[in-house]
Structure 1
Amino acid sequence: MVLRPVALGLLLACAVSLSSSAVVLENGMPILWAQTSSQVTELPMQNGVVTPDPWHFLNRMSLYRLLIMATGPFMGCMGTNPTDNPLWGLPLQLGWMQTSGRLADPTGSTTCGLQAGDTMSISPQSWWGCVNYFLSVLPFLSAAHQGFMEDGVQVQLQAPAGVEGYCTTYADCSAQYPDAMAKWDGFFQVLKAESTLPESEKKDSILGDYWTAQMASLYASAACSTKQSHYSSEEVSFANSWLNSAEYVSAAHFHSSLEKSVLFISPLPSRILKEGDVAPNIADLTQEENQSLSIFSRMRWINTFLGGRLVNMWKGAMCSVSTREKGKELMEQLMLNPGFATTTFLSIITGMATSC
């Protein structure tokens, strides 16, 4: 099997090719970025407490904008461009979920998130919206607690009528998901700490802590699993592959800048998959989307055939700064060289693992 350019996104991030299918950018920024809050005080407030509504798309996207602005001064080792902050991958993912309809009510009992309803609504019944809650609310609450917003700011997330089972404060989330919150706390603490490491090693270290925290949020999002029952078996399979792909990109300490994240996220399927959708022959999806889904299926099959060892081999190979740098070069090969074969990939990572 030949790993085409789309294989990188499937294998090492949350996307699959250089061609764009879903809309994730607007004037070079995540969609509706200009309508989000640039200051904490622009978010809803009550009695001096910041009370954003995470079930409103603009409020949730605002959490990301505030996070990126607050962490930017500590991200100098990532590069000189403001878009080099690795947190950019998160709002791009949220934008893709919105434009592809994955934040809408999958049960059909409300018009939340539908074009014929409230387009800015995020349904608490959406598996995708639920998983993203752990990737947006948890880091925001941690950042606020660690002093990245305003001194002494208190945050209490809104829980609209009918929304149950979601933590809404730092204390609440720490009690329910202690490991995830501890990992985000650790990331923000390291970000502010003085470091004597060379810039390249500092960058690798920060990215490592960042991905450790993000993976902890994804593991905690197992609480969302029952919501997968609202989707087709094809969508569930894709969703699980999307989760699994994070294992690869995390181990490589991928630098998820805005520019690099666009390459991985924009080609993801532009609608929810239905029963009977079989790539590469889904008529109303683009060739790139069909190819993406085909590669997801193949990589999932290979990993299953190897008893999960493909993921473990990759993790084993990403054991040091030098091998992770080689891993990034391998990612570039997968992006730029359509003829890069699976056997070559396996040979390289096996060789890398033996050097650890």
Structure 2
Amino acid sequence: MRLTVACLLLAYAVALSSSATVIENGMPILWGHTGTQLTDLPIENGVVNPDPWHFLHRLTLYRLMIAATDPYMGTMGPNPTDSPMWGLPLELAWMLTSGRLADPTAETTCGHQTGDTMCISTKSFWGCANYFVSAMPFLSAAQQGLMGPEIQVQLQIPVGVQDYCTTYADCSASFPDAMSKWDAFFKDLVTPADPTLPENERKDAVLGLFWAAQSSSIRSSSGCNARRNLFSSTELSFSNSWLNSAEYVAAARFQSNLENSVRFITPLPSRILLEGDVAPNIPDLSETENHILQIFNWMQSIDSLLAGRLVPTWQNAMCSVRTREEGRKMLENLLLDSTYATSSFLSIVTGMALSC
């Protein structure tokens, strides 16, 4: 990756920011410093060899995937940022600016202000979990020919680190369900299984394949869970809620385009949560950050009271194009509208599930 002095200075300024920022000039942060073609990534002996533990390299993987799939995303809408893949680089941007990609043990300066601000620590739960929704789809997209004919990719891995797959063959052997779902998504983009579907149903089908692949990748990241113990119990609880939230948006087939993703990612906590942080009364977080943390806590409490049945009930309710449209609106109200009655959410979801 060709890094300029300006890029390094900008990265340093971002790392010092007092609040998490995911967008600049209408694009994910540092987007202008990513590569726009495969040759911007390291290549050794004809094999593309990016370093996914460098923020700009990982962000470049997303940029290349978005560019490669955009010609097939017409059903998503007329705007160039309507692809559901935009949510992925924005989520990575939030992890960077909120400090979640840095070494949580502070045994190294990886990701810290005093070290390499573009470094993604292999010890970070967040950097680990995100690996599975960046490396896997990129390897699949390359295998399916979206990056060009016969492209070979071998991802770099830090010395002494063993628990990450780095090639398409590796990932397919270790995580066959996730990789087969990414393959199905990319194949269907290029050659739809049913090209006669009405536009709204085709859009729903594409989103269904996308979220099936992303959800399977997140489940494949279970090996990252031990890293959560390096954070406070409050941050650990939040990470549980974050993982659960993926189940809700996946079932509703949320269109994670740039505009929608900014609205839902911006309220996430702009720093790592500490012991003693209790929403909605965390003084250095905004009202919207406190609200979304309070909602996450409420959903965990309700799920506990229902003996873990809230997510399955929601998934059962998301049984048609119509109910998924309603579900997306309900999630928007619940997470972004502080006046929305949580009791109505539970009763509506239960009623929807019974009617399916």
Deviation at 1:267, TM superposition (A): 1.2
Contact 1:40 1:66 in 2 (8 A): yes
Residue 67 of structure 1 corresponds to 65
The one-letter code of the counterpart of 1:274 is: L
1:188 aligns with 2:190: no
CA contact (8 A) 1:64 1:90 kept: yes
| Aligned residue in 2 for 1:32 | 30
Q: Calculate the TM-score normalised by the size of structure 1.
A: 0.91
The answer for the alignment partner of 1:325 in structure 2 is: 325
1:286, distance to aligned residue in structure 2 (A)? 2.4
**1:251 and 2:256 aligned:** no
Which deviates more from structure 2 when the two are superposed, residues 89-98 or residues 225-234? 225-234
Cα deviation for residue 346 of structure 1 reads 2.2
Give yes or no for contact 1:52–1:156 (8 Å, CA) kept in 2: yes
Partner-residue secondary structure (3-state), 1:83: coil
Shift of 1:94: 0.1
Q: Write the mapping of 1:63-142 to structure 2, written as runs, cut at 5 A.
A: 63-142=61-140
- Offset, 1:330: 2.9
Aligned-residue offset at 1:341: 1.7
Question: Equivalents in 1 of 2:248, 2:278: separation in Å?
Answer: 25
Residue pair 2:100, 2:272 contacting (<8 A) in 1 also? yes
Question: Tell me, what secondary structure is at the counterpart of 2:297?
Answer: helix
For 2:11, the equivalent position in structure 1 comes to none
**Cα offset, 1:206, TM superposition:** 0.5
Compute the displacement of 1:337 (Å): 5.5
Instruction: Output the CA distance in 2 between the equivalents of 1:289 and 1:333.
Output: 15
Residues in 2 aligned to 1:158 and 1:333: alpha-carbon distance in whole angstroms: 42
Match of 1:210 in 2: 210
**Residue in 1 aligned with 2:198?**
198
- What CA deviation, in whole Å up to 9, does each residue of 1:19-41 have, x standing for no partner? x9520001110000000011111
Match for residue 235 of structure 2?
Answer: 235
Shift of 1:221: 0.3
Take 1:251 and 1:340, find their aligned partners in 2: how far apart are those partners? Answer: 21
Contact 2:233 2:275 in 1 (8 A): yes
**Would the aligned equivalents of 1:21 and 1:286 in 2 still touch at CA under 8 Å?**
no
Counterpart position of 1:161? 159
C-alpha distance in 2 between matches for 1:292 and 1:329: 16
Q: Which amino acid aligns with 2:57?
A: N
The change in CA–CA distance for 1:338 and 1:160 in structure 2 (over 3 A counts) is closer
2:345 matched residue in structure 1: 345
- Structure 1 residues 337 and 237: CA distance shift in structure 2, 3 A: closer
Alpha-carbon deviation of 1:228? 1.2
Moved more, 248-257 or 314-323: 314-323
Mapped partners of 2:336, 2:95: distance in 1: 27
* More off after superposition, 57-66 vs 311-320: 311-320
Question: CA separation in 2, counterparts of 1:300 and 1:318?
Answer: 20
Tell me, yes or no, if the aligned pair for 1:21 and 1:288 is still in contact at 8 Å: no
Tell me the TM-score normalized by structure 2. 0.91
Give me the whole-angstrom Cα distance separating, in 1, the residues matched to 2:190 and 2:52: 26
Equivalent position SS for 1:82? coil
Determine helix, strand or coil for the equivalent of 2:32: helix
Query: Quick one: which amino acid aligns to residue 295 of structure 1?
Result: I
Change (3 A) 1:337 1:278: closer
State the 1:288 CA deviation: 2.4
CA 1:336–1:274 in structure 2 vs 1: closer, same or farther (change >3 Å)? Answer: closer
- CA RMSD in angstroms comes to 1.6
8 Å Cα contact 1:21/1:266 also seen in 2: no
Count of matched residue positions in the alignment of Structure 1 and Structure 2: 337
1:30-59 deviation digits (Å, cap 9, x = unpaired)? 000000011111111011110000000000
Instruction: Confirm or deny: 8 A CA contact 2:62 2:134 kept in the other structure.
Output: yes
AA partner of residue 135 (structure 2):
V
Residues 250, 231 of structure 1: alpha-carbon distance in 2 compared, 3 angstrom cutoff: same
> Relative contact order, CA 8 A, sep 6+: which one is greater?
1
Aligned partner letter, 2:252:
A
